[in-house]
């Protein structure tokens, strides 16, 4: 398991000498993952921007577009960067805390879509996003088992 070193809050190993370092690690992990959500959301906006530039796309021309359409390329670079940072955060963080935070990306993407693409938000969409974030959080609580 990835987070064997994480342990649980009530673990007897949490002696006074160990706890401060862990607390710092945890905060660092959370900060990293929040940064990941920002990168992920920015990536989505770039990917959508790039996708809209495809003219009569085929599977192959879309694949080539990853390298020839700058926003698409940049979007996937951000995605790769986000993935690497997330793996780093997982190294000493607890999956059950970090994983649900990633679903914040849904919230940022919804907001940014209104800003950049004039998407319309309504109560059903917002409720849907809140329910999905809740669902991912519920799943994440089990992710370390």
Partner 1 sequence: MKTPVESMVLVLAASFLGSIGAGFLKAGAAKLHGGLRYLFLNFKLAIGVVFFVGSSVLYVLGVKHGQLSVLYPLVSLSYIWALVWARIFFKEKFTFRKLAGLCLILLGILFVGLGNR
CB 7, min distance to partner 1, A:
20
Distance from the Cα of residue 125 to its chain's centroid: 19
Nearer to partner 1, 6 or 71 (CB): 71
Find the shortest distance in angstroms from Cβ 9 to partner 1: 18
The nearer residue to partner 1, 22 or 45, going by C-beta atoms, is: 45
Residues near partner 1 (CB under 8 A) are: 44-45, 47-48, 50-52, 54, 57, 59, 62-63, 65-66, 72, 76, 103, 106, 109-110, 113-114, 117, 119-142, 145
Q: Of the two residues 14 and 79, which places its CB atom closer to partner 1 in the complex? A: 79
Q: Which letter, b or e, does each residue of 60-92 get, where b requires 16 or more Cβ atoms within 10 Å of its Cβ? A: eeeeebeeebebbbbbbebbeebeebbeebbeb
29: tokens are: 């992990």
Q: Considering the complex, what minimum distance in angstroms separates the CB of residue 129 from partner 1?
A: 6
- For the bound state, the minimum distance from the C-beta of residue 88 to partner 1, rounded and expressed in Å, comes to 15
Nearer to partner 1, 72 or 89 (CB): 72
In degrees and rounded to multiples of 5, residue 6 shows phi and psi of -70, -45
Tell me how far, at minimum, the Cβ of 79 lies from partner 1, in Å.
9
Residue whose CB is less far from partner 1, 38 or 110: 110
Q: Taking phi first (over 0 means left), then psi (-120 to 50 degrees means alpha), and beta for anything else, what does residue 101 get?
A: alpha
Task: Cite the DSSP H helix spans in 52-122.
Answer: 59-68, 70-92, 95-102, 104-117
């Amino acid at each position: 398991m990835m987070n064997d070193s994480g342990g649980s809050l009530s673990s007897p190993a949490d002696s006074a000498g160990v706890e401060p370092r862990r607390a710092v690690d945890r905060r660092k992990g959370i900060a990293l993952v929040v940064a990941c959500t920002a990168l992920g959301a920015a990536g989505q906006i770039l990917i959508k921007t790039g996708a809209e530039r495809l003219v009569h796309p085929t599977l192959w021309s879309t694949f080539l577009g990853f390298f020839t359409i700058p926003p698409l390329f940049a979007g996937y670079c951000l995605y790769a960067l986000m993935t690497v940072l997330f793996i780093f955060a997982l190294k000493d963080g607890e999956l059950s805390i970090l994983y649900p935070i990633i679903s914040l990306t849904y919230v940022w993407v919804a907001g940014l879509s209104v800003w950049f693409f004039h998407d319309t938000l309504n109560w059903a969409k917002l409720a849907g996003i809140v329910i999905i974030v809740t669902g991912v959080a519920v799943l994440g609580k089990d992710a370390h088992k």
